[in-house]
Amino acid sequence: MERSLALLLPLIGTLAIIHIVQAQSQQGFISLDCGLPANERSPYIDSNTEIQYTSDATFIQSGKTGKVQANMEDRFLKPYSTLRYFPDGIRNCYNLNVEKGRNHLIRAWFMYGNYDGHDNSPRFDLYLGPNPWATIDLHKLENGTREEIIHIPTSNKLQICLVKTGETTPMISALEIRPMGNDSYITESGSLKLFFRIYLTESKNYIRFPNDVYDRQWIAFFWREWTQISTTSDVGTSNHYELPKAALASAAIPTNASAPLAIEWTPPNPNTQYYLYRHFAEIQDLQKNETREFNMLWNGDVMSSDPVIPDKLDISTFYSSSPRTCDEGDCNFQLKRTNRSTLPPLLNALEVFTVIKFPQSETNETDVAAIINIEATYGLSRINWQGDPCVPQQFRWDALNCSNTDASTPPRITSLNLSSSGLTGNIAAAIQNLTQLEKLNLSGNDLNGTIPQSLQRKGGLQLFRHGNPRLFPSESPTVSTGKSFPVVIVASVASAAILIVVLVLVLVLRKKKPSTVQVVHPPPSRPTMNVPYANSPEPSIEMKKRRFTYAEVMKMTNNFERVVGEGGFGVVCHGTVNGSEQVAVKLLSQSSTQGYKEFKAEVDLLLRVHHTNLVSLVGYCDEGDHLALIYEFVPNGDLRQHLSGKGGKPIVNWATRLRISAEAALGLEYLHIGCTPPIVHRDVKTTNILLDEQFKAKLADFGLSRSFPVGGETHVSTVVAGTPGYLDPEYYQTSRLGEKSDVYSFGIVLLEMITNQPVIDRNRRKSHITQWVGSELNGGDITKIMDPKLNGDYDSRSAWRALELAMSCADPTSARRPTMSHVVIELKECLVSENSRRNMSRGMDSLSSPEVSMVFDSGMIPRAR
């Protein structure tokens, strides 16, 4: 059945603004310049598309970097002139975080550019998880090629793998992931592989982001038997597909008004299945006696029982609920006027996809997480431990066996052989999460401690542990050891008795002389954190599922090797968990001004709040006098650095500042109205707004945060805490804390982003930033207030509006301050205004011709007839 997707219920007000802001701000975009060295300027803004690209170095653990030959650089845009190639291993995989169950546009670019000087274009396979996606053959594609699909991931991890199939070396130039709306590009089954995407115009302009909010690439296409019609009026595009307005501002009609408008192509094989998405908008002023009405035909058959009558200056999209095939020979799509129509048919834009099936289920998510955790715990580095652990079978990880079920059932890990692997320390706790394990070989290592009872009592598990002289069962074992190891019952009982006596003595001594009992820890490579408040009377943290031991913290940070920051809490070290997930480990130092109470408050809060604009807590360590918080790693540092340019950080432009402020405001809004009870951050400042690899803002440092008691109170009385300059003066005077205290601090942050002035400057005539801005406002010249590093590149309306908003947030009287929900709406409208200015100044200039040619190098070009 054909479905018309003409917009019946127009989007209004805030909803429309939210969608535009999120898309144009690249929220959720992953844009990897593959092969860009991590120490070069990353991220950077591509001048042609305004897309922010980052190095791929943190998303893959293998490969080498290269660059197209110098005499060929001009033929490729910047993101595609560098590349990563893979001389080692058969399968090399990128690991990306995505949103499970959401439609994503996934695009990979391949430009050989004779980077190796061998003039030998590669041929290899591309996989999405465990399933084949495409074969890349660059032999006749001098300008390179790309592969694009629209796909719904079945987990929050997306693996894109390059697989060597012959003598040549796989390589990749760029990876681009774009989250999309779930109400578009709906299929009966499978994913959509792009065949071609065109808009009908005689112009040569090439459309993608920012004109297309999803960064789809539209190729201008026209045929000599057609006539172009166009409009300068605004065409409505707000259906689920959100087409760029430029793609609908023109259309083709047959020059012979009685003839059909036809497009045909030759399928790669006769069984290929197609989905067609047809976009129409009436862009001519019809007279009262004029009618445009036509039928759509597929290989001569009418596709819908009702003819198409395009809506005036508004998009209508049609698609089939089931895929179509071509009976034989060419595929032919026609638009044919009805008998009552006085005007010929028109077509504005057309997308054609083939159906691609991904039948093989990924390995069970719990098993995958467990094996990655085991890999990280022991620091294993094996070239083939990439991609899905179990499937396809020819790429199964070394040392594993998996259940072989039908493709629709996720495989399970049934055997793990880590013998003679140089393992030390305790048995990794994650091994116990491999619940279908039947055989575990740990022999020939240097493991110590006791074997978890769950492994000893697991029915049917063969456990091999010989060659680990310091590894003992926790009780009389019932496991196979792989050799004849007599169990000396008397010795076991005696050991148990001694252990019991020792424990009793320790408990008695602790009760009588608590001050004399000391816990001795082996010294790490850095000074231990012997903090005096480790034995704080604060109740212990109840949530245990994300708790790490101190040994695990040392392991994940490689003995605190890389320090990435330092604050009032202590040093922050870089680490890795689960083999690939980067983390920031914040260690509580002895000299810290924060204590166990703040530590516990932050853990408790972050374990129960989840928002894309809040730094997420991976785990924590609360072991004796060792306290640590393990966060997701946010690689681009804090906002303050990107205003000052400190450490070589790039200065962010006005649009990016507005987006960052809107995202930080969304995080605060969630704390204020999305949490029960509400939460006040209490320490909002530019150094507590972190930026991830896509420059998305994430609020951090919740050690001072407080919840309101249940019962409708609008404030609580607390000991005043916060950072001078950002501290709400009303809260400082009354000790009465409320959400508006955060609003004040956010207003100061916004003033910093606007002016790039210090919050407090004793050398300034007006030392506090609010006073300085207030005095400058009397002159009415905003250029004297705006950050000079912006070089005047901003929309003055959005600047004035943001400035007025900041001053209202920083009003000394809390009752006159707006709510964070109002702040969010205002900032999004500022961003819409700024993006409109940028789009207008940029115009519809086409991108360089080489990129356009790459799109059709596959030979899949539609033909008019």
- Classify residue 203 by burial, with Cβ atoms within 10 Å: 0-12, 13-18, 19+: middle
**Is 427 exposed, middle or buried, given 0-12, 13-18 or 19+ CB atoms closer than 10 A?**
buried
Cα torsion 296, 298, 300, 301: sign? negative
Residue in the structure block whose two tokens are 């035909």: 297
CA–CA dist 719, 728 (Å, integer): 13
User: What are the DSSP E strand ranges found in 118-184?
Assistant: 123-128, 131-137, 145-151, 157-164, 171-172, 174-179
Which tokens belong to 311? 């809506």
Six-digit token pair at 622?
Answer: 């609360």
Question: Residues 734, 718: contact at Cβ < 8 Å?
Answer: no
Q: Which two tokens stand for residue 723?
A: 């950072």
194 DSSP 8-state letter: E
Q: Are strands 191-200 and 219-221 parallel, antiparallel or unpaired?
A: parallel
The CA dihedral of 363, 365, 367, 373, to the nearest 10 degrees, is 120
Whether the Cβ atoms of residue 347 and residue 358 lie closer than 8 Å to each other: no
Task: Give me 166's structure tokens.
Answer: 């012959």
Note the Cα 222 to chain centre separation in Å.
37
| Three-class DSSP category at 164 | strand
467 phi and psi angles, rounded to 5 deg = 90, 5
Give the strand pairing for 123-128 and 131-137.
antiparallel
Q: Does a cis peptide bond (omega within 30 degrees of 0) precede residue 650?
A: no
Looking at residue 234, the DSSP 8-state letter turns out to be: P
Task: Please identify which of the residues 56, 212, 625, 683 carries the catalytic annotation.
Answer: 683
Please give the order of strands across the beta sheet that includes 462-464.
400-402, 413-417, 439-441, 462-464
Nearest to 94 by CA among 52, 126, 116: 126
Contact 346, 301 (CB under 8 A): no
Q: Any catalytic annotation for residue 683?
A: yes
Please, what's the largest Cα pairwise distance for the chain?
106
> Is 157 assigned to a binding site?
no
E-strand spans in 255-399? 261-265, 274-280, 294-298, 301-302, 316-320, 331-337, 349-356
Give the DSSP H/E element, type plus range, for residue 13.
helix 13-24
Q: Are strands 617-623 and 626-632 parallel, antiparallel or unpaired?
A: antiparallel
Residue burial 12-23, b: 16+ Cβ < 10 Å; e: rest: eeeeebbebbbb
Tokens for 466?
């010989």
Residue list, annotated binding site: 586
Kindly list the catalytic residues: 683
Residue list, annotated binding site for ATP: 586
